[in-house]
Structures are given as structure tokens and as C-alpha cells.
């Protein structure tokens, strides 16, 4: 992940799941924290009130779909949250800290996993989740697809197919402080039917989680890794 530098320290994640706080001049290790999966997003440093004390906090996520808050001075865990119950949930995009709201983008590897002929396709929807930056309590969760996945048919092997799904969020949201809007980029649908919020930008009110507007760059885009296999049984 791209490193963050503040107060003479350099914070960076790694594929092993170790997050490092290094001396920015000498590379001496101040502390490490072992996450449950690879950390590919940048560490976000912010200030939050934890208990009765103001603390400098390091926020990051892993490829197990977990969000972490650790004390930036000594690396001890303050809180940890699983951002989605789906087993394929992942965190790749960096977070945003807006006041005491921590904004976490959520993506998935489901479109890769369904390359297996016996896999069930597809039930994951991208989302952005707002947490209380101090306690880790969830404030709201905005899915990029409003409809919950339901059975839409069967594949050539007779297995059920579910949809709509996909429109995952791989990148960091951008915040418009004047309009109080989050701008969120989404990926393709992983299954038919395609939605109007895939390959799109969503403007979400950070205080209410309401979608204010959407812009779709490419419509009708449904694809997953099954399309690159010989049998293509789960390819939309």
C-alpha cells in the first residue's frame, strides 16, 4: 500500500498483513500490528476520542474484510469490525475520516471465485459503511445496488443463479466538504441483470446516506472470471 507520513513516522501495510510504524528517517520499527489478511489500502491517520482521551489513531482494512483502528503511538488495537458478512468481502480502497465518521469502501472477490464451475453466482453487493471513528459503532451502510439478490435463473449445470450483484467499490471515496457529499466509484455487475449503478459514480449524502445523484459511465456491463474459463458456466 502507499505509505502515509506524519510526525516523523511512516505507516504502511503489507501483503503479510503486518502494518508497520517506522521512523521516517532511519526506518527503525516503532511497532507492528498483525492484521488477519493482507493490507493493500493506505493507512489513514486521524484524531479520535477513545474513552476520555484524545488519541492519534491509525485506520486501515484487510483482504479479510476487516476494518481496524489502532493507537498510532504504540500500535495497540482500539477496535476491529467485519464490514460485511459475505465471505468474499474485501477492503482495497483507503478510508475517509470526516469529523468523527470513518467511511469504509467495500469490494469483493466473488467475481473471481465464481470461475469455479460449482460456485454459486452471485450474491455480493458493493457498499460504503460509516463507522463512529472512536468506538467502531456502525452509523449507516449504503449498498451500491438497492435490490437484494434473488434467484434469476439457473446455469447450464442446473445451479441457481442470483442477481443483481456486483458494483463493488475498489477505490477511496472523495468528500465534497461544501456539499457534504461522498463521491463513490463502482465496478461492473458480476451477473445479469445489469443495474444503473454499476460502472458509475454515486453521490451520497454523508449525514443521511441518501443517494443524491448517480452517473453511469457504461451501461449493461455484466462480467465475471467464469467468462475466461472453458465452460463459462457462470458467465453472464
Q: What pLDDT does 212 receive? A: 98
Grid cell at residue 173: 471515496
Q: What pLDDT does 111 receive? A: 96
Question: In whole angstroms, what is the distance from residue 79 CA to residue 183 CA?
Answer: 26
The number of residues in the chain equals: 236
Cα of 212 vs its chain's centroid, Å: 21
Question: In whole angstroms, what is the distance from residue 82 CA to residue 53 CA?
Answer: 25
User: DSSP of 30-95, one letter per residue?
Assistant: EEEEE-SS---SPPEEEEEEETTEEEEEEEEE-TTSEEEEEETTT--EEEEEE--SSTTEE--SPP
Helix, strand, or coil (residue 99): coil
Q: Tell me if 66 sits within 8 A of 80, measured CB to CB.
A: yes
Grid cell at residue 124: 455480493
Cα of 135 vs its chain's centroid, Å: 19
Q: What pLDDT does 1 receive? A: 85
Q: Could you tell me the pTM of the whole model?
A: 0.96
pLDDT, tens digit, 9 for 90 and up, residues 108-144 = 999 999 999 899 999 999 999 999 999 999 999 999 9
Closest CA to 12 of 60, 74, 47, 56: 60
Q: What is the 3-state secondary structure (H, E, C) of 123-189?
A: CCECEEEEEECCCCCEEEEEECCCCCCEEEEECCCCCEEEECCECCCCCCCEEECCCCEEEEECCCE
Q: Which residues of the chain have pLDDT under 50?
A: none
Burial of 78 (0-12, 13-18, 19+ CB in 10 A): buried
Grid cell at residue 230: 472453458
Cα of 87 vs its chain's centroid, Å: 13
Q: Tell me if 202 sits within 8 A of 186, measured CB to CB.
A: yes
Location of C-alpha cell 466538504: 177
Bridge-based pairing of strands 181-185 and 174-176 is antiparallel
Grid cell at residue 60: 486501515
Amino acid at each position: 500500500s502507499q505509505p502515509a507520513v506524519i510526525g516523523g513516522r511512516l505507516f504502511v501495510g503489507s501483503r503479510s498483513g503486518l502494518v508497520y510504524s517506522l521512523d521516517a528517517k532511519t526506518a527503525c520499527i516503532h511497532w507492528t500490528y498483525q492484521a488477519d489478511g493482507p493490507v493493500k489500502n493506505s493507512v489513514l491517520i486521524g484524531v479520535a476520542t477513545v474513552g476520555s482521551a484524545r488519541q492519534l489513531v491509525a485506520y486501515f482494512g484487510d483482504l479479510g474484510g476487516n476494518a481496524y483502528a489502532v493507537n498510532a503511538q504504540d500500535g495497540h488495537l482500539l477496535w476491529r469490525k467485519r464490514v460485511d458478512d459475505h465471505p468474499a468481502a474485501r477492503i482495497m480502497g483507503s478510508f475517509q475520516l470526516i469529523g468523527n465518521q470513518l467511511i469504509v469502501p467495500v469490494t469483493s472477490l466473488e467475481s473471481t471465485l465464481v470461475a469455479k464451475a460449482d460456485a454459486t453466482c452471485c450474491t455480493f453487493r458493493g457498499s460504503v459503511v460509516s463507522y463512529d471513528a472512536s468506538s467502531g459503532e456502525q452509523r449507516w451502510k449504503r449498498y451500491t445496488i438497492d435490490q437484494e439478490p434473488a434467484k434469476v435463473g439457473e446455469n447450464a449445470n442446473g445451479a441457481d443463479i442470483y442477481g443483481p450483484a456486483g458494483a463493488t467499490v475498489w477505490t477511496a471515496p472523495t468528500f465534497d466538504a461544501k456539499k457534504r457529499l461522498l463521491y463513490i466509484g463502482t465496478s461492473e455487475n458480476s451477473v445479469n441483470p445489469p443495474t444503473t449503478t454499476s460502472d458509475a459514480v454515486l453521490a451520497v449524502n454523508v449525514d443521511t446516506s441518501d443517494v443524491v445523484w448517480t452517473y453511469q459511465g457504461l451501461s449493461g456491463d455484466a462480467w465475471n472470471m467464469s467468462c475466461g474459463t472453458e465452460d463459462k458456466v457462470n458467465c453472464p
